[in-house]
Amino acid sequence: MPVSSTTSLPLDSAPEQSPRLPDNKPPHHHHPKPSRLKLTYDIVMIIVISIDLLLISIDAILMSSFSSSAAEWLTLSEALNWYQTTLHDPLRTTGGFFTIFLVVELLLRWVIAIKQKAYYRWFFFPFVHWYEVLGCFPQLRALRLLRAVVIGRRLYQLGYQVLPQTWINRIKFYIDLLLEELSDRVILTAIQNFRQELTNPEAHKSFIESAITRNRNEIKAAVLSLLRTELAPKLQELTASSGGGSILASEMGNAIEEGLANTPELRRYLRMIPIAGSLIESQLHHVGHNIGENVVNALNKRLLDPERLDLLMVAIASGIAQIDTNNTALDVLISSIIEDSLTEFEAQVKVQQWKHQDMLNL
């Protein structure tokens, strides 16, 4: 509901006026207290509009066919006929006077706004107060309620209790309920339409291709971040003298030692050497074990150097970011992610938040 326009005399505070030229003073964001004259004027206008709308509503109800049927059922036809023949025309005349009063009041405010240069152009006034202009037409008199609401909201913002707080809470609750139900229907319809679009192979393929193509840099950054955070520390642990590094080096040494021990030709040649053959064989196994450990440690230090490792991570992330979109497994993965996301989002939208509000206890 638009409430940004002024609702009283055009002497209203700056925050409720249309934007002006940049060389003017910047608008204030607080609500200064109005003068007693403007406050009285607002209260009088909201009373006048309320009386007008009340008379219009009563007359519309009593002149309807439903009232005739209800009066006949309640045996009040004579009273209803008396109203329709006696009071209907005077009430219509009174409504005409109200309309004339509102038109004159609107024109006077327009003249005052022009005199005070309240708006950047003189003809801005009817556009800002469009609901008041339209409400002057008999067929659109219901828009006068909007002006009453705007005045009431302005008074409420200034700290004046126009309606009981219980009424205000209920009105807010039902407005939130209506907006939530309407927005939920729109969102659910959009989700269903999106699902139907994804069933089209061409649209699905185009969606995946465009999504990956536009976000290759983001994919690379995300993969690189994961590699640096998760994989790099695990690999760098291999260079440590304790933990995984020592285990890998020890296993490599054991493998070389076992390989030497299981080489029959070596054992045969060494046993051909008298006395020292067995000692040489034992020392050779020990040297082989040390060579295995030293080779692993040297490779770890060279291949898992932080700079080389980071270059490797960058190369891996770049390769993943350049993934080919013509990939069946990729299509299945993205389709599953999208479907699960839509299902979860749809379930959240279907939750009626207004049912969990304390307002229901009123």
- Asked if the model's pLDDT at residue 135 lies above 80, the reply is yes
CA 149/CA 135 separation, integer angstroms = 13
The first and second tokens of residue 70, run together, are 């209800």
Q: How far is CA 65 from CA 58, 139, 238, in A?
A: 13, 19, 91
CA 106/CA 111 separation, integer angstroms = 9
CA 245/CA 267 separation, integer angstroms = 31
Q: Quick one: pLDDT band at residue 82, thresholds 50, 70, 90?
A: confident
- Say which amino acid occupies 37: L
Q: Quick one: pLDDT band at residue 5, thresholds 50, 70, 90?
A: very low
3-state secondary structure the chain: CCCCCCCCCCCCCHHHCCCCCCCCCCCCCCCCCCCHHHHHHHHHHHHHHHHHHHHHHHHHHHCCHHHHHHHHHCCCHHHHHHHHHHHHHHHHHHHHHHHHHHHHHHHHHHHHHHHHCCCCCHHHHHHHCHHHHHHCCHHHHHHHHHHHHHHHHHHHHCCCCCCCHHHHHHHHHHHHHHHHHHHHHHHHHHHHHHHHHHCCHHHHHHHHHHHHHHCHHHHHHHHHHHHHHHHHHHHHHHHCCCCHHHHHHHHHHHHHHHHHHCCHHHHHHHHCCCCHHHHHHHHHHHHHHHHHHHHHHHHHHHHCCHHHHHHHHHHHHHHHHCCCCCCHHHHHHHHHHHHHHHHHHHHHHHCCHHHHCHHHHC
312, 277 Cβ separation under 8 angstroms = no
Q: How far is CA 273 from CA 192, 247, 261, 263, in A?
A: 86, 35, 17, 17
- Asked if the model's pLDDT at residue 71 lies above 70, the reply is yes
**Using one digit for the tens of pLDDT, what is the confidence trace for 228-276?**
887 777 776 665 555 555 666 777 778 887 777 777 777 677 677 776 7
pTM for this predicted structure: 0.40
- Asked if the model's pLDDT at residue 102 lies above 70, the reply is yes
> Per mean pLDDT, which of 22-31, 69-78, 83-92, 108-117 is the most reliable?
108-117
**Using one digit for the tens of pLDDT, what is the confidence trace for 309-332?**
788 888 888 888 887 777 777 777
Range with the lowest mean pLDDT among 25-34, 267-276, 304-313?
25-34
pLDDT at 35: 67
The first and second tokens of residue 279, run together, are 């000692």
CA 362/CA 341 separation, integer angstroms = 37
**Using one digit for the tens of pLDDT, what is the confidence trace for 201-235?**
777 777 777 878 888 888 888 888 888 887 777 77
